Amino acid sequence: MFSGVSSRREARRAARVLHQHPARVANEELKNLIYTLQDLVGRLGEAADPEVKRLRKQAETALANARAALAEGGSQLGDQAREFVRQGERYVHRRPWASLGLVAVCMLAVGLLSGRSIWSD
């Protein structure tokens, strides 16, 4: 993704994107690796050398494992997010007054912080 960075400005931009969206960058880099590996396996074709055949088989196995890990990671993340939402809903239903108090404290904190930033300028 960032292999073609040539100037300082581009390097700073790449670092900012990497810092702000590390999961997205990692996902894109993994996809690039998979596509590169697919291209390499396709170019090897039907080689006669037993060592090349062995390496091709290893590459195909690694490619299948990477695809499975990528699919499994996405589904696990979705499952965890849904479970987090369910736990939040259960907490609010069991303790409505505590939830309301927590929201009020958070709103007060946001109001105080935003008020300070307005008056400090």
Mean predicted confidence (pLDDT) in 90-94 = 87
**Domain residues of the chain, as ranges?**
8-95
31: Cβ contacts below 8 Å, ≥ 6 apart:
70
The predicted-structure confidence for 26-79, as pLDDT tens digits, reads as follows 777 777 777 777 777 777 766 667 777 777 777 778 777 777 777 776 677 777
Nearest Cα to Cα of residue 1 among 24, 69, 65, 39: 24
pLDDT digits (tens, 9 = 90+) for 10-23: 777 766 766 676 66
Residue 95 has pLDDT above 70, yes or no: yes
